[in-house]
């Protein structure tokens, strides 16, 4: 397994990130994250692309682009796996459960935002983590 280089770069509108073989370092991979996205979105995108590296390296081929909904040429199941691992990396079960216990005094509609702030992720990412559609 090679290494991974991560860079923030301008990507086409609607593309959050991509992973492909690194043209500057044969045998390694390059993750590009859209430099115009928020820092929170970039964090999840990097984790998502790293998940593709860990889980689907044999399917990266010439590269995988993920749009803003984290869809790519890979199957929905593969994208769901990458989302799940990204969520688990950034928001581990044990810590999320500890913060949920601390948030019990909040209104239900405020808990997602509270947890997203604590883990420095978007509310959309926290909803993925919590299994909320």
pLDDT band at 7 (very low <50, low <70, confident <90, very high): very high
**Beta pairing partners, 39:** none
Q: Which long-range contacts (CB under 8 A, 24 or more apart) does 67-75 make?
A: 67/14, 67/15, 67/16, 68/14, 68/15, 68/16, 70/16
Give the pLDDT of residue 78: 85
pTM: 0.84
Residue 113 has pLDDT above 80, yes or no: yes
- Convert the pLDDT of each residue in 63-96 to its tens digit: 777 666 666 666 678 888 998 899 999 999 999 9
Residue 104 has pLDDT above 90, yes or no: no
Alpha-carbon span 96 to 72, nearest angstrom = 28
Q: In what order do the strands lie in the sheet with 4-9?
A: 4-9, 29-34, 15-21, 64-67
């Amino acid at each position: 397994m090679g290494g991974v280089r991560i860079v923030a770069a301008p990507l086409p509108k609607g593309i959050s990130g991509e992973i492909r073989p690194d043209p500057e370092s044969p045998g390694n991979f390059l993750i590009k994250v859209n430099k115009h996205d928020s820092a929170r979105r970039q964090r999840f995108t990097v984790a998502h692309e790293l998940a593709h590296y860990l889980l689907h390296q044999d399917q990266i081929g010439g590269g995988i682009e993920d749009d803003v909904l984290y869809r790519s040429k890979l199957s929905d199941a593969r994208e769901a796996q990458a989302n799940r691992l990204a969520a688990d990396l950034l928001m581990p079960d044990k810590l999320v459960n500890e913060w949920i216990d601390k948030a019990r005094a909040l209104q239900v509609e405020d808990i997602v935002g509270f947890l997203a702030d604590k883990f420095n992720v978007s509310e959309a990412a926290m909803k993925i983590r919590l299994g909320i559609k």
